[in-house]
Structure 1
Amino acid sequence: MDSWFLAVLFVGFGLPFVRVQKGRRLLGLIKASTATGTLCCLLGWWQVVSAFPSHACPDFDYMRPIVHFDRYESSVFPPRATCYWDDGQRKELVSGWVNPLLFTCIAVLTGCLVTLAVLAYRRYRKGQTR
């Protein structure tokens, strides 16, 4: 699941929410970043929940010396699941693009909401209630 193909699909899924009409671009960006971030977060959570250390992190009996599974660490936010072996190797079980895309969506959403609040405040100060 470490392919960027799914990331491109998720961004492509969010793009139809962006409107090119003047005055509606900000709301479209809010919808797109929310949809894309939600999909990305759900996929990351699914990868964390479905990662079974007994299957995903086996002992390497064929190596000499034998490498044993040491520990498994996971978290739900940000989605992360990692296997560690006693020789220092590690394996990430959540795709590498999930967290960067998730935090990009959060940053875009935050920027849009702040911009929307500033614009609403300016309209309120001018006395224009729409």
Structure 2
Amino acid sequence: MTTKITIGWREWLSLPELGIERIKAKIDTGARTSCIHAINIEEYEVDGEKWVKFTAQPLQDDEQTKITCNAKVKKIKNVTSSSGQKELRYFIETTLHAGKHSWPIEMTLTSRATMKFRMLLGRTAMENRVIVDTALSHLL
């Protein structure tokens, strides 16, 4: 990709492979990895490969809207949160839709129940594709 898209510090994004049509994400250049709020995470196998089933609650302040998601596990690894806590997390890969643009991203599954945003878009997912204008929001 030669032309980078400009996004604001928060954006409405879509994760269609997970069945999530809209999720408000905080664009976090301080975070290396992206993550999504996930609860009720269950591991299972398909043809000898690890998969996870989880519940996403994509809308902040809305515990009633729940989407059941399934994804192949890319890896399981310790991640250090912004508060310094280490947590073993599932990593998955899915397609991100940002306005008219889409590309594959890697993200982790974790509870963000106490956080304002149900998704963080980290710098690895934005690398060579995005310019962040911190003075703006909802450009997409």
| TM-score, normalized by the shorter chain, greater than 0.5 | no
Structure having greater relative contact order (Cα 8 Å, sep ≥ 6): 2
TM-score, normalised with respect to structure 2: 0.21
Q: Tell me which protein shows more helix as a share of its residues.
A: 1
Structure whose alpha-carbon radius of gyration is higher: 1
TM-score, normalised with respect to structure 1: 0.22
